[in-house]
Amino acid sequence: MITIGLTGWSDHELLMTNKAHKLEEYASHFPFVELDTSFYAIPSEKNILSWLDKTPKNFQFIPKAFQAMTQHKEWIDFFPSQQAMFQTYLVAFGPMIEANKIKAFLFQFPPFFHYTKEHLVDLKNMRTWMGNLPVAIEFRHSSWFTKENSPHTLAFLAEHQFIHAVIDQPQTPGNSIPLVAAATNKKLSLLRLHGRNYEGWLNSSGPNWREKRTLHDYSEKELTLFIPIIQSLETKSEEVIIIFNNNSGGHAARNAKHLQKLLRLTFDQLGPQQLSLFD
């Protein structure tokens, strides 16, 4: 099975006919969404319950791990211990977990999270604290996928039942990884598409650098090149999920719909769609 979704639901103007019901509108087009707000703050119970109420029964979320859980920030600035931080995070998402609305949790590590023994221990601890929940891992430093380390990285992820996030991004020095089309989890594989804006990815300075980073419109040729990768992953996992994160210029929704058409996919049990925008 192959499914497609986007990062967030608020910024995809092409999907919206009623801005007061953005999540409901989004859920009429795609079967899951990457929840990026949980990176900046652990959501309140009120928000979690609201999101559950606004989406169809089979709609799912991919929450990003809180930033201190992936070492973007110091955990000691927020919690008395790392374990307490993970417990608080999982309690917050308890209603989603109980409702089977979590497709996977996404842990996106920073460029300074290198392949080291200490960081492998960190990942083992993380697996302990996350229990048997589905967890996808996205690295940002190339040391994980050097010729020497790549087999060990993939074997480690498989051993601990982590989902290897296959990444498409510009190959800049210091903060990129190559596209390694390997599956490490029998239930789920993940392909995350950041776009190919080399200059935007290279320069992480200035007030709008995050917006420039994902400013890219995938061409049909570029989308077509992903098809054999997706099909290969599908032979190794029960489901392949594709996340478009290239929305600085509003391209993600149209690119996702185009790939859906190329793959001849239909998604069942979505919310009611007010208007067909992509015929």
Interval 221-260: pLDDT, tens: 999 999 999 999 999 999 999 999 998 888 999 999 999 9
Closest CA to 13 of 251, 257, 278, 212: 251
pLDDT-based confidence at residue 210 (cuts at 50, 70, 90):
low
- What does the pLDDT average to over 123-149? 96
- What does the pLDDT average to over 132-160? 96
Average pLDDT of every residue of the chain: 91
The pLDDT score that the predictor gives to residue 72 is: 94
The pLDDT score that the predictor gives to residue 176 is: 84
Least confident of 11-15, 92-96, 135-139, 193-197: 11-15
Q: Which domains does the chain have, with CATH numbers?
A: 2-262 (3.20.20.410)
The pLDDT score that the predictor gives to residue 136 is: 98
Secondary structure (3-state) at 167: strand
Least confident of 25-34, 76-85, 188-197, 204-213: 204-213
The pLDDT score that the predictor gives to residue 250 is: 84
The more confidently predicted of residues 88 and 267 is 88
The pLDDT score that the predictor gives to residue 208 is: 66
CB proximity list for 11: less than 8 A, separation 6 or greater = 247, 250
Number of helices (H), then strands (E), in the chain: 11, 8
- What does the pLDDT average to over 105-119? 96
The pLDDT score that the predictor gives to residue 129 is: 97
CB 28 within 8 A of CB 56: no
C-alpha 279/C-alpha 277 separation (Å) is 6
Look at strands 239-244 and 2-7 and give their pairing. parallel
Task: Please state the pTM of the whole predicted model.
Answer: 0.91
Least confident of 118-122, 195-199, 251-255: 195-199
The pLDDT score that the predictor gives to residue 19 is: 72
The pLDDT score that the predictor gives to residue 171 is: 86
Query: For the segment 34-86, what is each residue's pLDDT rounded down to a tens digit?
Result: 999 999 999 999 999 999 999 999 999 999 999 999 999 998 999 999 999 99
pLDDT-based confidence at residue 205 (cuts at 50, 70, 90):
low
The pLDDT score that the predictor gives to residue 209 is: 63
CB atoms within 10 A of CB 140: 19
Least confident of 24-28, 50-54, 266-270: 266-270
pLDDT-based confidence at residue 140 (cuts at 50, 70, 90):
very high
C-alpha 208/C-alpha 228 separation (Å) is 34
C-alpha 150/C-alpha 175 separation (Å) is 16
Flag whether pLDDT at 178 surpasses 90: yes
Flag whether pLDDT at 2 surpasses 70: yes
